[in-house]
Amino acid sequence: MTEEPRVEAYGTVVVFEDRYGNRWDLIQPVGGHGGHGGR
Dump pLDDT digits (tens) for 4-34: 999 999 999 999 999 999 999 999 999 856 5
C-beta separation of 13 from 25 below 8 A: yes
The number of beta carbons lying within 10 Å of the beta carbon of residue 15 is 14
Work out the pLDDT band at 1, boundaries 50, 70, 90: confident
The CA angle 7-15-10, to the nearest 5 degrees, is: 30
Q: Write down the pTM of the prediction.
A: 0.65
Q: Which residue has the higher pLDDT, 19 or 35?
A: 19
Work out the pLDDT band at 3, boundaries 50, 70, 90: confident
The number of beta carbons lying within 10 Å of the beta carbon of residue 14 is 15
Of 27, 29, 3, whose CA–CA distance to 16 is shortest? 3
